[in-house]
Amino acid sequence: MNISCSAAKEILDIPLEGRAIIAGYWSPKYGLSSQPTIVQWRASQLSSLTPLSNTENPDLDLFHWESYYLQPGWIDCHVHLALDSLDFYQCLKNWENPSLIQKNIQVYLQNYLRLGIVAIRDGGDLPGYSWLARNNVREGTWLGPRVISVREAVNRKGMYGRFLGRGFAGISDWHRELIDFYGQGLDQLKVIVSGLIRFDNFKVVGPTQWTVAELSEIVQTAHQRGISVMAHASGEDGISTAIAARVDSIEHGYYMTAEHLNQMKEYGIAWIPTVAPIGNILKYPTDRYSSFEIDTLRRILETQLTMIYEAYKRKVRIGVGTDAGAYLVPHGESLFDEMDWLVQAGIPKLDVYSMATQENAGIVRQKDLGRLEIGTPMNLLQLTKGNVSLERNRI
């Protein structure tokens, strides 16, 4: 088995049973402990955390991790393994070369693990590359974090999302094909509710693809099967439609309003605000965008950060997802950009940590993720630096 040593950007092989000295640990449940500790695991699961006494003479069989802290592994709640964060259109052309895409995805997966990211939720791709990755990781063929995959998204034919799903002409078309759609396998359902935001026109968003009644029917088919629904939605109409249809999470959510937040709090709908696709364009400047577009992006970023803090104050569930694979949102590293953006919005660092672990685990419905407790599998934890901070080079 293995454990991520994000402090050294390595994946360590460890036995199924062992002991180690650590500098301390952090978890949403226990908080932060800076006391040297003996950590023990049996049958690949954490079995004890015991303070190291000053008089104790550690046995030679201990792993010496004295400079590391132990904590739950990170979770990225929104990625696209089939995209490369460099050139969207060239990447779609590369989909015709499966061996190249699969090779790239294996590199991304191992990079996630090296950085302490033990699970990712993939937002889908039409060829099914993310679903292949999900299965190969579960079977042990590929090394990587746990992949929770929607396989392909549900979008309206002829509208935004053609690279994410087959497209449905309308609700009748969906009902005709839903048995086949669910039969191919999926962990969560993703529905494209609205189009994209515009970088050259503030508050303009692509059209809403479903009525409330139609989207409610789609959501109901998932909930009847015990499957949660993530909704790509931005703009007042798109977000309102998603909330009215009782989706489980809103992805992106640009131009969120205070009333939206109140409704999301009431219905327990989570928000994954994906700041990195906008913020990183400003953080890592290129000559790709005009000065007018950059000014618009600044307005969008400011609005998004303001509403994120409002959501935090109102105790709306907030997940941490990057949209990795989008331009300038690389797989793995961008999670630390996203956490930085949430901190810049005004959320305390340890609360951001809880969102990227415990809250994300709830959003992806994986109870063994996001925690450090007796019984937690060691490969779902990570070894971090001796100081808990949000530096880009890891914590």
List of residues 6+ apart from 180 with CB closer than 8 A: none
Please provide the distance, in angstroms rounded to a whole number, between the alpha carbons at the two ends of the chain.
23
Q: State residue 53's pLDDT score.
A: 79
Alpha helix (H) residue ranges in 95-183: 98-114, 129-139, 171-183
Q: State residue 239's pLDDT score.
A: 98
pTM for this entry = 0.96
Architecture of domain 74-363: Alpha-Beta Barrel (3.20)
Query: 147, 83, 148, 76: which is closest to 115 by C-alpha?
Result: 76
Rounded Cα distance between 332 and 114, Å, is 9
Pairing of β 2-5 and β 381-384: parallel
Q: State residue 60's pLDDT score.
A: 63
Rounded Cα distance between 286 and 300, Å, is 18
Return the structure tokens found at 18. Answer: 């062992």
CATH code for residues 2-73+372-384: 2.30.40
Find where tokens 């994300």 sit: 360
Rounded Cα distance between 142 and 134, Å, is 9
Q: State residue 238's pLDDT score.
A: 98
Q: How distant, in Å, are the alpha carbons of 199, 253, 326, 328 from that of 299?
A: 10, 15, 20, 19
Query: 340, 192, 149, 361: which is closest to 270 by C-alpha?
Result: 361
Return the structure tokens found at 201. Answer: 């026109």
pLDDT in tens, 56-111: 666 668 999 999 999 999 999 999 999 999 999 999 999 999 999 999 999 999 99
Query: 162, 188, 157, 150: which is closest to 172 by C-alpha?
Result: 157
Q: At 37, which helix (H) or strand (E)?
A: strand 37-42
Same fold across 2-73+372-384 and 74-363: no
Q: State residue 61's pLDDT score.
A: 80
Sorted by where each begins, the domain ranges of the chain are 2-73+372-384, 74-363
- Could you list the pLDDT tens digit for every one of the 395 residues in the chain? 999 999 999 999 999 999 999 999 999 999 999 999 999 999 999 999 999 876 566 666 899 999 999 999 999 999 999 999 999 999 999 999 999 999 999 999 999 999 999 999 999 999 999 999 999 999 999 999 999 999 999 999 999 999 999 999 999 999 999 999 999 999 999 999 999 999 999 999 999 999 999 999 999 999 999 999 999 999 999 999 999 999 999 999 999 999 999 999 999 999 999 999 999 999 999 999 999 999 999 999 999 999 999 999 999 999 999 999 999 999 999 999 999 999 999 999 999 999 999 999 999 999 999 999 999 999 999 999 965 543 443 44
Assign 50 to helix, strand or coil: strand
